[in-house]
Amino acid sequence: MFLERLRQLEPKYKDWTIQNLALYIVGLQAIFYLLLLSEFISIESLVLIPAKVISEGQVWRLFTFCFVPPAIPNLGMGLLYLIINWYVFVIISQYLETYWGSFLFNLYCLFVVALTIFASFLVLFIPSDMLVFINPQVFFYSFFFIIFLAFAVLNPEYEMLLFFVLPLKVKYLAMLSCVFYILSFLGAVTLMDKIVMLICVFTFVLFFYDQIKLTLKQRKRTESYRKQSQETNEAMHTCNQCGKSDISDPKLEFRYRNEEGVPICYCNQCRN
């Protein structure tokens, strides 16, 4: 299992782990936002352009492109929208970091950044008249998408307010986000934009393959148990920690967590 193999590396590299990584990302984006707004620096000087890294030695671009804000709005509603994006990003990132641990969350982010950098230099060698660069908006949007998708997979019943009014479960928001993501991919302007979006999806699948596989098995098992429970009146889900079941407490929600390759059932009270 991929995640278990990564966890084996933690004792050796745990000193390199950054706690609360999302706060650092948002904090640096906020600093760069102020610098860009004051015109002290320009976006062009921060974006990853492989040709300039190679020919002019501008190695800082390998790092700064991650911290360019997804938008540079003027003060007002645009800034409010940016702050809301940052807030949601931090909240769901911290949930994921708490669930996984800081080491795995760091690797999740690192995979996206490292593969994006690697791909940009590969694309540079494809004959084309277009400038190869990483679009900050596409990068952050794609990165935000897989963070949100990870949150939705781990906590699908969580409710968020759509347009700050309509309560909607995260699993439905994730489905809607997937539709928009596919449309954005089809409408992407450059090859590099499409590659960045594919890299993010690949990273998500790489880290969540076992979880997705477990979920599919769980659904199959649930259908089987449902048929059996209808015949024998036995509980289909029983919490491993408190012993409550879907029969004794039908209002509880039950989820399975993969522990050493074995699906373990927890109710929503014990899981939280």
Q: Residue 186: which pLDDT band, with cuts at 50, 70 and 90?
A: very high
User: Domain boundary at 167, 196, 211, which?
Assistant: 211
Whole-number pLDDT of residue 118: 95
Residue 219: inside a domain, yes or no? no
Residue 100 sits at φ, ψ, to 5 deg, of -85, -35
d(CA 215, CA 262) in angstroms, rounded, equals 12
pLDDT of residue 225: 62
Task: Say if residue 13 is in the same domain as residue 105.
Answer: yes
> Quick check: is 220 in a domain?
no
Residue 82 domain-assigned (yes or no): yes
Q: Average model confidence (pLDDT) for the chain? A: 84
- Within-domain flag for 158: yes
> What's the pLDDT tens digit per position in 187-221?
988 899 999 999 999 999 999 887 777 777 776 66
Q: Which residues contact 252 (CB under 8 A, 6 or more apart)?
A: 239, 244, 246, 267, 268, 269
pLDDT(232) > 60? no
Segments forming the whole domain that contains residue 272: 235-272
Residue 29 burial class via C-beta count within 10 angstroms: exposed 0-12, middle 13-18, buried 19 and up: buried
State the pTM of this model.
0.76
Residues in the chain: 272
Are both 177 and 240 inside the same structural domain? no
Helix (H) / strand (E) element for 160: namely: strand 159-162
Q: Give 253's pLDDT tier (boundaries 50, 70, 90).
A: confident
